[in-house]
Amino acid sequence: MKALVEKNPILEKAFVELDKLSMDAKTRELYEMREIGLHDYNTNIRSAFEKGEKKGVKRGIEKGKKRGDRKRSIRTAIELKKAGMDTEFIAKAVELPIPWLEKFFQKVRIENITNGGNLSA
């Protein structure tokens, strides 16, 4: 009988309800308090998970936007350098530090020379 009940969720639920009905008032109250506690716990866990998930998605979107803005600034800096603009002007235009741009342009220039490309200085 027990094996049959365990395999059928409807029968299992019915037997749980039957057990609850056969409990004395104090035992039934303790059981119901435990069930409420478990329900509240699970609700709080689910709520915290959803809140964390939303926060993570928001952070990911913000990080992606920043990364996209930085890539756009770098592409613009390269185009301005190719057009013959000086590094100080480029730094102001794309809001990147001059030392970083100088190092970047040096690296790009070295890579382009070894790859046969051209980045005018």
Domain presence at residue 121: no
Residue 119 has what DSSP assignment? Answer: -
Domain presence at residue 120: no
3-state helix, strand, coil in the chain (%, to 5): 85, 0, 15
| Rounded distance between C-alpha atoms, residue 50 and residue 2, angstroms | 38
Q: For the whole prediction, is pTM greater than 0.75?
A: no
Report the run of H or E that residue 27 belongs to, with start and end.
Answer: helix 25-82
Q: What are the pLDDT digits (tens) for 32-86?
A: 899 999 999 999 999 999 999 999 999 999 999 999 999 999 999 999 999 999 9
Domain presence at residue 103: yes
- Look up tokens 């100080």; give the residue: 88
Q: How many domains in the chain?
A: 1
| Rounded distance between C-alpha atoms, residue 113 and residue 36, angstroms | 71
The token duo for 63 is 């990080």
Domain that holds residue 27: 2-115
The dihedral of CA 108, 68, 88, 99: what is its sign? negative
Domain presence at residue 77: yes
- Confidence check: pLDDT of 118 > 80: no
The token duo for 110 is 């070295």
